[in-house]
Structure 1
Amino acid sequence: MRSDPPARRAHLVRGAAVAAATLVSGIGVVAVATQAHAAAGCRADYSVNQWNTGFTGSVTLTNLGDPITGGWALTWDFAGNQHITQGWNGTFSQTGTHVSVTNPAWSTSLATGASASLGFNADYSGTNPAPATFSLNGVACTGSVPTTAPTTTPTTPPTTPPAGTRADNPYAGVKGYVNPEWKAKADAEPGGSRVSNNPTAVWLDRIAAIGGAAGSMGLRDHLDAALAQGAGYIQFVIYDLPGRDCAALASNGELGPDDLPRYQSEYIDPIAAIQADPKYRNLRIIDVIEIDSLPNLVTNTSGQAGATAMCDTMKANGGYVNGIAYALRKLGAIANTYNYLDAAHHGWIGWDSNFGPTADLMLQTARASGDVRNVAGFITDTANYSALREPYFTVATTVNGTSVRQSRWVDWNQYVDELSFAQAFRTKLVSIGFDPGIGMLIDTSRNGWGGPNRPTRASTATDVNTFVDQSRIDRRIHAGNWCNQSGAGLGERPTAAPEPGIDAYVWVKPPGESDGSSTLIPNDEGKGFDRMCDPTYTGNARNGNNLSGALPGAPISGAWFSAQFRELMANAYPPLS
């Protein structure tokens, strides 16, 4: 279901120049932090991954005292000549050896027992000793609560809003809807009951799906079932744009490039009418808006290596922007809905030439809806396979003096995994005008990459390509491969608020549903045959002319693919018990 990104050879020189500029300017532009409410106690766990002249530092800050609202600041002093060049999950400033990190705009609170994970890249020479002490809002982090704490006015942590009103995070504090149709298919597989109670999204991928196609449950059926389950949230994928999936064929849709009026009146309007029924006002209805759309207008139009005539058409006629803006406006007007706009993945827009323009196009589209607040957040890695974390190297890792960004796999990308990309993209979106309260979702349904082929440590190879290939969790042949990938596994189970800025890990692509057919299969759903789903295909410029890595014997997109589901369970990470 995911459009493969354009070839990246053009980024070799341009990417290196941008990386250098980031390292020079990344720290100098931030303001010195101001302290907010004092805390009564804290713990700071510090670790580094270092090489000859640089290191990546990690700090896990845990508040042991009263809840903090309104902002926090963590400070420390380096004992050597360490100099931070880039930081994330906070606003970093450094004067001499003194470092101050203030909370990001989207995370001003720190409840009792809550933690914040900060990270940074830095350079040094000589030795690299750890800081002796850390302080949170001026109080030393000793790992315990002082007997005599500084005088402070305790604040009350925010409570979860009642159902039927907009929550800051719609996934928090409530259980998700389990699609009984998907559950029945999963339960029919050996061992499937181990995962069948996880919430998955319902894909409304054609007009007929609203009422229920070919005997399947329709939109209202699912909403009624969610009420019967006592679910707090339910997830739908809004996926029927005119000229849909313009850079691939497996998920082409029923509407032609000029069918915007039909999209509005026959698709979005009926969905909005049903979701607005007061009967469902106590459900948090989450709408994932139009997979594989806006990023295609950045990476797959004229002037790009992955250009297609259909993407050029959809950019010229405004069908994607106007269609999505209409969906955001209609669905965003319902008090208990939450629109999450698809934001591709790090292996698609992780290069600077794609990263900023994609964010800008999303802002343009949100503004066209009448209010950027019609967007509650964004989702990355939808129906894709990019690893959530790469534990054995970062984008700052070097091998024998060579950056991993120069490897064939990373190919000058600024990110090596989904979590770092999603958090950075969120920061970018807020910086250009989106509401600071937006959250990110990451689809972890098929990015676990467990099983016997999962690396257990960093490679000791001195060649950068060998090092990356032996160390990476993502075992695909090429990061541009997206269809029914061999060797993939279930990823993190659906979880609310797992990391700063992340509203939830979700299973939006129901595990076991095919990405596309391995061979041509005629159908009445408008779904074409894409060679990227053919395991014998030797690739194209967009995936470096590599094999597709697809599983054989796959049905059309959305149909149940038993062999894939069983492999996903076998390779699950975390493993299934």
Structure 2
Amino acid sequence: MSGLRAQRRIERAERRRAKRRNVMAFAASAVVAVGTVTGVLSAAAGEGDHRNSARPQTSRTPVPGPLPARPSPSATPSAQASVPASRTAAPARPSLSRPASKRAEPSPGRPTREPSARTPSSPPGAAALYRHPESQVLDWVRANRDDPRHPLIKNRIADQPAAVWFAAYNPGAVTAQVRSVTSAAATAGRIPVLVPYAIPDRDCGGASQGGAPDLAAYDDWIGDFAAGLGGGEVIVILEPDSIALSDCLSDGERQARFASLARAGRTLHAANPRAKVYFDAGHSGWHPAGKQAAALRAAGARSNSDGIFTNVSNFHRTADEAAYARRVLAALGGPAGLGAVIDTSRNGNGPPAGGQWCDPAGRALGRAPTTRTGEARVDAYLWIKLPGESDGCKGAAGTFTPDYAYQLAGGD
């Protein structure tokens, strides 16, 4: 019997790998080292271009993490030390790839159906967004005061608030890491933007693979993450691409992931009722609004979120994203208070021609981060991707590249 079970595990693993190859056949990927950052572009028939995104691998004190619009850990750290002054405290464990034979099903006894609708709280308040005091761009600004590019990069990029990424599966450390950010933000009277990025099968097992070893471990990690949220206002961008990039999973695996995301939303709200939790809606050039809304509904977004996020690390225009977000929210249904946040970090000139994704020329910074958008059902414009951190063409992927930052800041 043990031999038969082993053979079945091998066959299941082969089927999963074949399915991933079919999904990723539409993608062109560029993988680079330096903390492991990958940019990937894919277009599924009838759904437009995918998106690129370089994402940080947690490795030191919390800093705004990179992200071009598709999941990829980057060299930029997210949240690593419990004390911001120390870059060596609480070292992160490396992200773990999950063996194909150990995919998790929903934990026994945990709900997989969406509960009755939770009435979301009001959108984020008027307090300014939080800028963490450590990042690659700030390192460059401090070290290059005489550089002629310094004033523009400092004023237009380094002085802006950006998201803080938590991209390592690091049980036992993440609570203090989150608390170091939220407590500093609360002291400053500002709202931090946090990005948990540790879902199992991250990036469909592709170049950005990693995260928790299974969904039970992820549930525990999210519980640890939530324990650091404190009691102040905080914005949580829950697992970029976890919903929009879930077609590579089997029906059962997708259902299990969505149930885990629903649990994550409940856990985050229970830990801090003032937390605003947003679920993944891809972007306007990816899935049709109706399809994305159906997936969000299956993930419990109506009851367990405060809304959706779009355009993470991509270049789609703010007006297009706002219109798309409203279509998704209308199709999603649920409480009228659900809103959207949009990543505006690099979309000032809109998307490049021909689906380019790797540090495309002619891009510009988008609208400055704010919770006062003036747009119906749009709660905030955020910089989730930190401008100037390369996708891998103008510089090493995930590293701050001053020439690229200067071009974005100048709109060149």
Please state which band the TM-score falls in when normalised by the shorter chain.
0.5 to 0.7
Match of 2:168 among 187, 206, 224: 206
Matches within 5 A, 1:417-432: 417-430=320-333
Report if the CA contact (8 A) 2:394-2:404 is conserved: no
For the aligned residue pairs, the C-alpha RMSD in angstroms reads: 2.9
Match of 1:272 among 201, 214, 226: 226
Q: For the residues of structure 2 that align with 1:326 and 1:186, how far apart are their CA atoms?
A: 40
Match of 2:210 among 248, 253, 272: 253
Other structure's SS at 1:339 match: strand
Tell me the equivalent position of 1:193. Answer: 154
Q: For the residues of structure 1 that align with 2:47 and 2:183, how far apart are their CA atoms?
A: 51
Matches within 5 A, 1:519-530: none
Structure that is richer in helix per residue: 2
Tell me the equivalent position of 1:474. Answer: 351
Tell me the equivalent position of 1:51. Answer: none
Output one character per residue of 1:488-526: Cα deviation in whole Å (capped at 9) or x when no partner.
2110111223311111111122223344xx4xxxxxxxx
Output one character per residue of 1:26-70: Cα deviation in whole Å (capped at 9) or x when no partner.
xxxxxxxxxxxxxxxxxxxxxxxxxxxxxxxxxxxxxxxxxxxxx
Report if the CA contact (8 A) 1:269-1:330 is conserved: yes
Q: For the residues of structure 2 that align with 1:361 and 1:291, how far apart are their CA atoms?
A: 14
Q: Against the structure 1 CA distance between its residues 202 and 438, is the aligned structure 2 distance closer, same or farther, given a 3 Å change threshold?
A: same
Tell me the equivalent position of 2:389. Answer: 513
Please say if 1:240 is aligned against 2:170: no
Q: 1:337: how far off? A: 0.9
Tell me the equivalent position of 1:7. Answer: 44
Tell me the equivalent position of 2:338. Answer: 438
Report if the CA contact (8 A) 2:394-2:401 is conserved: no
Q: 1:212: how far off? A: 7.1
Q: How many residues align?
A: 294
Tell me the equivalent position of 1:169. Answer: 123
**What amino acid maps onto 2:314 in structure 1?**
N
**What amino acid maps onto 1:422 in structure 2?**
A
Q: Against the structure 1 CA distance between its residues 553 and 10, is the aligned structure 2 distance closer, same or farther, given a 3 Å change threshold?
A: closer
Report if the CA contact (8 A) 1:340-1:376 is conserved: yes
Report if the CA contact (8 A) 1:289-1:340 is conserved: yes
Q: 1:228: how far off? A: 3.0
Other structure's SS at 1:499 match: coil
**What amino acid maps onto 1:437 in structure 2?**
G
Q: 1:314: how far off? A: 7.8
Output one character per residue of 1:289-312: Cα deviation in whole Å (capped at 9) or x when no partner.
110121123xxx4xxxxxxxxx23
Q: Against the structure 1 CA distance between its residues 483 and 208, is the aligned structure 2 distance closer, same or farther, given a 3 Å change threshold?
A: farther
Output one character per residue of 1:318-374: Cα deviation in whole Å (capped at 9) or x when no partner.
44213312211210212111111121101111xxxx43122111111117xxxx332
Tell me the equivalent position of 1:341. Answer: 279
Output one character per residue of 1:221-246: Cα deviation in whole Å (capped at 9) or x when no partner.
21222133221x11101111000011
Other structure's SS at 2:257 match: helix
Tell me the equivalent position of 1:502. Answer: 378
The worse-fitting range, judged by mean Cα deviation, of 187-196 and 174-183 is 187-196
Q: For the residues of structure 1 that align with 2:251 and 2:390, how far apart are their CA atoms?
A: 26
Tell me the equivalent position of 1:453. Answer: none
Q: For the residues of structure 2 that align with 1:336 and 1:510, how far apart are their CA atoms?
A: 25
Tell me the equivalent position of 2:24. Answer: none
Tell me the equivalent position of 1:564. Answer: 404
Q: Which runs of 5+ in 2 are unaligned?
A: 1-37, 49-119, 145-149
Structure number with bigger Rg: 1
Q: For the residues of structure 2 that align with 1:247 and 1:483, how far apart are their CA atoms?
A: 21
Q: For the residues of structure 2 that align with 1:313 and 1:228, how far apart are their CA atoms?
A: 45
Q: For the residues of structure 1 that align with 2:228 and 2:212, how far apart are their CA atoms?
A: 21
Tell me the equivalent position of 1:306. Answer: none
Q: Against the structure 1 CA distance between its residues 345 and 9, is the aligned structure 2 distance closer, same or farther, given a 3 Å change threshold?
A: closer
Q: Against the structure 1 CA distance between its residues 360 and 9, is the aligned structure 2 distance closer, same or farther, given a 3 Å change threshold?
A: closer
Tell me the equivalent position of 1:220. Answer: 179
Match of 2:290 among 347, 356, 381: 356
Tell me the equivalent position of 2:91. Answer: none
Q: For the residues of structure 1 that align with 2:275 and 2:380, how far apart are their CA atoms?
A: 16
Q: For the residues of structure 1 that align with 2:378 and 2:329, how far apart are their CA atoms?
A: 9
Tell me the equivalent position of 2:29. Answer: none
Q: Against the structure 1 CA distance between its residues 288 and 345, is the aligned structure 2 distance closer, same or farther, given a 3 Å change threshold?
A: same
TM-score (norm: length of structure 2): 0.64
Other structure's SS at 1:338 match: strand
Q: Against the structure 1 CA distance between its residues 340 and 9, is the aligned structure 2 distance closer, same or farther, given a 3 Å change threshold?
A: closer
Report if the CA contact (8 A) 2:308-2:341 is conserved: yes
Tell me the equivalent position of 1:493. Answer: 368
Q: For the residues of structure 1 that align with 2:44 and 2:224, how far apart are their CA atoms?
A: 39
**What amino acid maps onto 2:209 in structure 1?**
N
Q: For the residues of structure 2 that align with 1:374 and 1:222, how far apart are their CA atoms?
A: 23
Output one character per residue of 1:456-495: Cα deviation in whole Å (capped at 9) or x when no partner.
xxxxxxxxxxxxxxxxx433322xx444333321101112
Other structure's SS at 2:204 match: coil
Report if the CA contact (8 A) 1:498-1:504 is conserved: no
Other structure's SS at 2:237 match: strand
Q: For the residues of structure 1 that align with 2:134 and 2:267, how far apart are their CA atoms?
A: 28
Other structure's SS at 1:295 match: coil
Report if the CA contact (8 A) 1:498-1:505 is conserved: no
Other structure's SS at 1:362 match: helix
Structure that is richer in strand per residue: 1
